[in-house]
Chain A
Amino acid sequence: MEHKKTHILSLKAQISILIALIVLTFMAIGVTKIEMGAYSLAVILVIAAIQAYIIMAYHMHLKFESPFFRVMVILLFILFLAVLFVTFLDYIYR
């Protein structure tokens, strides 16, 4: 059970990530002010997905981990999508 050396982000990188997350948050708020109908929700979800990716990649160190952990996270997303799919079998066919 060997431990890999912990990857430590530089201060500059951490501040850049923080700024990116704040900007994306304001973008998500800004989108609600623009009339895009049903597309607003899609745009907000895309922005939220980008934020989630940044957090997982850098704060949760997935970018620096072995492929094993990345595969596990992908499997969890597949599980999540499967749960959504089953839920929507109700909403679509109700």
Chain B
Amino acid sequence: MSESIHETKEPSYLEVKSHKGIWNWLLTTDHKRIGLMYLYAMITFFGVGVILGLMMKLELIAPGKTIMSAQTYNSFFTLHGIIMIFLIVVPGLPAVFGNFFLPILIGAKDVAFPKLNLLSWYVYMLGAVVALSSQFLSGGAPDTGWTFYAPYSFKTSTNMLPAVLGAFILGFSSILTGLNFIVTMHRLRAKGMTWMKMPLFPWALYGTAWIQLLATPIVGITLLMVVAERTLQIGFFDPALGGDPILYQHLFWIYSHPAVYIMILPAMGVVSEILPTFAQKTIFGYKAIVISTIAIAFVGYFVWGHHMFTSGMSGVALYIFSLLTFLVAIPSAIKVFNWIATLYRGSIRLETPFYWAASFIFVFMIGGLSGLVLGSLATDVYVHDTHFVVAHFHYIVFGGVGFAFIGAMHYWFPKMYGRMYDASWANIGWLFFFIGFNFLYMPMFYLGILGMPRRYFDYVDKFHNGNIVSTIGSWVMVFGLVVIVANLIKSARSGPLADDNPWNGKTLEWATSSPPPLENFEIEPVVTEGPYEYK
């Protein structure tokens, strides 16, 4: 892809010590270290979220009370949602891999505003602490679900304010990161890297960053309105005060549906990086993928109403939102077609990152097609607020972002740490995770069609079998996850040293050393051809 890049003899970013001890991390402005700080924070939060999910599944292994009360179950699914959505999947891929790899992929030394980047991490941690404090303060853990729907959010006596304020603060971190990335891509691309020579992961981050910048303030204001409603009795959403509870749903989903694309676009970007490398073939339809990325980001703004089909919206709005929802499926399908076409007649290498990317397509297709059931007015009314929605949501969000995140971790691990992981254990981890994931969530489609509502800690006997399968699936999946994490931690410390380009990739990160030096390249790269030019 480039000329004038030589193997560097400079010390890696991990060897450069600009401060003493822990301050070397806490005061760093190096985008790579900041990416790792996000990674470690998110793994910690993710562990808590997974344990909460496991406990919920254990509660549902049998009808009636099994291990927790109804109120505890309400708090668990609320906290599970807050952690997984606001702390992990929304910031996840951009904050970790965007921070680490965006500057390298475009041939820059760092992001445009390194100090702002560090501030974003601190704002993220502050938001996390404030949100999680809601669990421990007197008053009880929030029980409204992660959507904080009115009227629950202004009627509940639980600790709603810290949870809502935490989400509000986390939004600022998201906005600052998005702003930083947009400026970085506009101003710091390497010489010769035109927009149409930019790799697809940065393109995905670009679309994502605009959503972060434009949509996040809306949820920020909405959450502040909830605070004002609770503290000052202003009637935004409470009908008793002249408000409209459906207005809350509009405002919340105007942000939160685009937020789904904040989650999934970078995941698609990761898959678009992995597949050409492991097929050793130029990506099929580069421009179509770029255009569909921007189209998803744009059309994704106008589909929020499909979360509200049973809320009492006007009939006209229902039809429009349903139509727009079907439209957004088109650019998503274009991407899937291009990925499959990339694999066609490629020299496929069956390595761990490829397994994750391929299984991403599998679970994303199931999630996407079940989304059409929910985007269609008649069928949505039938399965609304059932386990079908939970299954669809997890296939898209966990299947999409989770598979892409772990895939990215295995793809870029040699570059990040300069060491290889044990491929056998990595593949075993993937296999258990993939099987467990499908056993965990597939029965939920069936349970939802049978009519099992979501967010209930109890159920009638006819739902028992599906829940047993689902709970056992959660154990298998978590076993796979433990194998994966243990393998990566061990390999980061003592794995064999990695080559600079172990996968024979063509993008710029593979043209520098593993791990990269502090300023990424010894000599500023000059880009002369597209990012995936395999001969």
Contact = CB atoms under 8 A, between A and B. Distances in A.
Interface of A: 1, 76, 79, 82-83, 86-87, 89-94
Interface of B: 187-189, 214, 246, 250, 254, 301-302, 305, 312-317, 320-321
Contacts of A79: 214, 301
Contacts of A91: 314
Given A79-B301, A83-B254, A83-B302, A89 B316 contact: yes
Contacts of B254: 83, 87
A83 B301 contact: yes
14 contacts: A1-B187, A1-B189, A83-B301, A86-B302, A89-B314, A89-B316, A89-B320, A90-B314, A91-B314, A92-B316, A93-B314, A93-B315, A93-B317, A94-B314
A7 B321 CA distance: 44
B212 to A, nearest CB: 14
A86 B321 CA distance: 9
Nearest to B189: A1
Given A83-B254, A83-B301, A86-B305, A92 B320 contact: no
Contact of B305 (A82, A90, A92, A93): A90
B316 A93 contact: yes
Contact of A86 (B189, B214, B315, B320): B320
Contacts of B313: 90, 94
A87 B311 CA distance: 14
B244 to A, nearest CB: 9
A88 B210 CA distance: 24
A91 B317 CA distance: 9
A34 to B, nearest CB: 22
Contacts of A90: 246, 250, 305, 313-314, 316-317
A38 B41 CA distance: 50
Contact of B250 (A76, A82, A87): A87
Given A83-B254, A86-B302, A76 B314 contact: no
A92 B317 CA distance: 9
Contacts of B321: 86
Nearest to A91: B314
Given A87-B254, A93-B316, 7 more contacts: A1-B188, A76-B214, A86-B317, A89-B314, A89-B316, A90-B313, A94-B313
Contacts of B315: 93
Nearest to A82: B302
B222 to A, nearest CB: 13
A56 to B, nearest CB: 15
Given A79-B214, A83-B254, A89 B301 contact: no
A90 B317 CA distance: 5
A59 B270 CA distance: 38
A91 B315 CA distance: 11
Nearest to B312: A94
Nearest to B215: A83
A76 B312 CA distance: 29
Count chain B CB atoms within 10 A of each CB in A89, A91, A92 and give the residue with the most: A89
A87 B254 CA distance: 9
Contact of A92 (B188, B214, B314): B314
Across the A-B interface, the 4 shortest Cβ-Cβ residue pairs: A93-B314, A90-B317, A93-B316, A94-B314
A82 to B, nearest CB: 7
A83 B321 CA distance: 12
A91 B314 CA distance: 7
Contacts of B246: 90
Contacts of B214: 76, 79
A83 B214 CA distance: 12
Contacts of A82: 301-302
Count chain B CB atoms within 10 A of each CB in A83, A86, A93 and give the residue with the most: A86
A92 B320 CA distance: 14
Nearest to A80: B214
B328 to A, nearest CB: 14
B317 A89 contact: yes
A38 to B, nearest CB: 15
B190 to A, nearest CB: 11
A80 B315 CA distance: 23
A71 to B, nearest CB: 15
A1 B106 CA distance: 14
A94 B244 CA distance: 12
A94 B313 CA distance: 6
B262 to A, nearest CB: 16
A14 to B, nearest CB: 24
Contacts of B188: 1
A32 to B, nearest CB: 15
A14 B312 CA distance: 49
A93 B313 CA distance: 9
A76 B214 CA distance: 8
